[in-house]
Amino acid sequence: MKISRFTLILFTLLAASHIGTAQQAMQHIREELMTSGLEEPVVSEEYILMPGDSLLITITGATNYSYITGVTYEGKVTINIPVTSMPSAQGVYLPHYDVVEAVKVHDLNLIQAKDSLRRVFRKYFRNIGVDITLIGMRSFTVFVIGEVMYPGKVTAWPVDRVSVAIERAGGITTAGSRSRVEIRRDDEPPALVDIEAFEKTGNRELNPFVQDGDIIYIPGMQRSVVVRGAVFGKRQFKLTPSTKPAEDLKQTGGKERYSEGIYELSDGETVADIIAKAGGITPWTDMANAYIERRGTKIYINLAETLADEDSKFNILMADGDVLYIPSIALSVYVEGHVREPGAFIFQPHLRASDYIGFAGGAVTEADMGRAHVVRDDQDLPLRDDPIIEPGDKIVVPRVLFKFWQDYLQITAVFATLLISFLTLTAASSN
């Protein structure tokens, strides 16, 4: 069992001779609170006190004072009574307390602990009120083992749920089960935790709080499916080279947004359920040509109908080992004219004309960017506003009509060559 650093930090507040020291101590408290999984204020009736918790005891009424104490290793808090004041090194008088008794609060919630303390304090004072405030939570160790990135022990707080402890161990690996997580606690039978159902429904009972000494075990998946293609994925999608032939699509811009992931398969899950696990389809999904590969055969499905109607014949049950392919729409954008590598490029949403010109290697020196434009249906859109490109657009980068010095030199050189040739031939015929 660890005694929380809160206890040491908060005791320094009693000896703080100026506000700067107190502010520094409170900053440490705030930083440690931020590392816990605290979701909302602690409920007094639910929080169970254990060794390592830090408390502010406040006495009001006929006498008024307060002090900070911690729950000891024996599960007790001290009853402190001020007897005198003593000067600090800075000349500030601080109260000096005598410890007159210790009260067991182990396994009591905050309300029960306050009642116990009130009964004891009223043996020493009349007409007083007693209140306790939780100002520091204990920390303890839990063990996270199995299919996680960094198995081993992690620090946890009483307000941390199982999913929080798993994240501190680096999260579940791609081979780990999210629906059959086990909590092993003392000699009790393992309790099952369904992280996947918790994330789907928000039911906190499916993701309980951890306790001191818990062993959290993440087994491997029993059944799984693979989803490939135009889905958002639980992780970031990547750009992969297009499968189009190189002569049809320049490799510089021929990239498709592509995701591939392994997802756990539970009983009764359908195509729509697995797509939801995979983060949903992208705007560039080819809804008509998705299919499932099952034991060497292809089962084509209509995604539009599947996602619109869960009772659709295409929303079939998935089987262990299935691979769900969700292709992208093969839409192109064309870049023509005076660029380094003109050609067709895969459409990617939200990109501008300048992005596709970049895919084409950029404009050459003879390009007239002032007259460059996008051809869209029957419209010509100037490039000066760098418009967002749509599928099928044609970006045209024309040549400068007349560059005086370059064209003048070229024309002069041609005439000079012709003149020299003419004179040479004339001279030769004269001889």
pLDDT tens, position by position, 14-29: 444 334 434 554 555 5
Q: Please say if the pLDDT value at position 357 is more than 80.
A: yes
Residue with tokens 């958002």: 232
Q: Please say if the pLDDT value at position 427 is more than 70.
A: no
**Percent helix / strand / coil, the chain, rounded to 5:** 25, 35, 40
Q: How far is CA 170 from CA 36, 150, 152, 166, 346, in A?
A: 16, 6, 10, 7, 36
Q: Please say if the pLDDT value at position 261 is more than 50.
A: yes
Q: What is the pLDDT of residue 417?
A: 74
Beta carbons within 10 angstroms of residue 321's beta carbon:
13
Q: What is the pLDDT of residue 234?
A: 64
Nearest-angstrom CA–CA distance, 148 and 177: 10
Residue with tokens 């830090």: 54
Beta carbons within 10 angstroms of residue 426's beta carbon:
10
Instruction: Please enumerate, as own/partner, the contacts of 115-124 that have beta carbons within 8 Å and a separation of 24 or more.
Output: 117/57, 117/77, 117/79, 120/79, 121/59, 121/79, 124/79, 124/81, 124/100
Kindly list the structural domains of the chain, giving each domain's residue range(s) and its CATH number in brackets, ordered by start. Answer: 5-136 (no CATH), 140-218 (3.10.560.10), 224-326 (3.10.560.10), 332-397 (3.10.560.10)
Cβ-Cβ contacts under 8 Å for 105 (sequence gap 6 or more):
49, 71, 75, 76, 77, 112, 113, 116, 117
Of 20 and 410, the one with more pLDDT: 410
Ranking 53-57, 123-127, 242-246 by mean pLDDT, the lowest is 242-246
Q: Please say if the pLDDT value at position 173 is more than 70.
A: yes
Q: What is the pLDDT of residue 13?
A: 46
Q: Please say if the pLDDT value at position 2 is more than 50.
A: no
pTM score of the predicted model: 0.65
* Torsions phi, psi for 19 (to 5 deg): -65, -25
Ranking 55-69, 164-178, 402-416 by mean pLDDT, the lowest is 402-416
Nearest-angstrom CA–CA distance, 229 and 303: 13
Nearest-angstrom CA–CA distance, 226 and 233: 11
Reading the block at residue 91, the tokens are 């000349």
Distance of CA 256 to the CA centre of its chain: 23
Nearest-angstrom CA–CA distance, 243 and 254: 8
Residue with tokens 């009349």: 126
Burial pattern 278-304, b for ≥16 Cβ within 10 A else e, equals bbebbebbbbeebebebeeeeeebbbe
Q: Report residue 121's pLDDT band, with 50, 70 and 90 as the boundaries.
A: very high
Average pLDDT, the chain: 84
What pLDDT digit, counting tens, does each position of 77-92 carry? 999 998 887 777 777 7
Q: What is the pLDDT of residue 26?
A: 57
Amino acid symbol at 8: L
Of 246 and 185, the one with more pLDDT: 185
Q: What is the pLDDT of residue 403?
A: 55
Strands 54-61 and 128-136: antiparallel
Q: What is the pLDDT of residue 331?
A: 73
* Torsions phi, psi for 106 (to 5 deg): -55, 130
Q: What is the pLDDT of residue 391?
A: 82
Ranking 182-196, 206-220, 250-264, 328-342 by mean pLDDT, the lowest is 250-264
Highest mean pLDDT among 211-225, 231-245, 322-336, 374-388: 211-225
Nearest-angstrom CA–CA distance, 261 and 232: 10
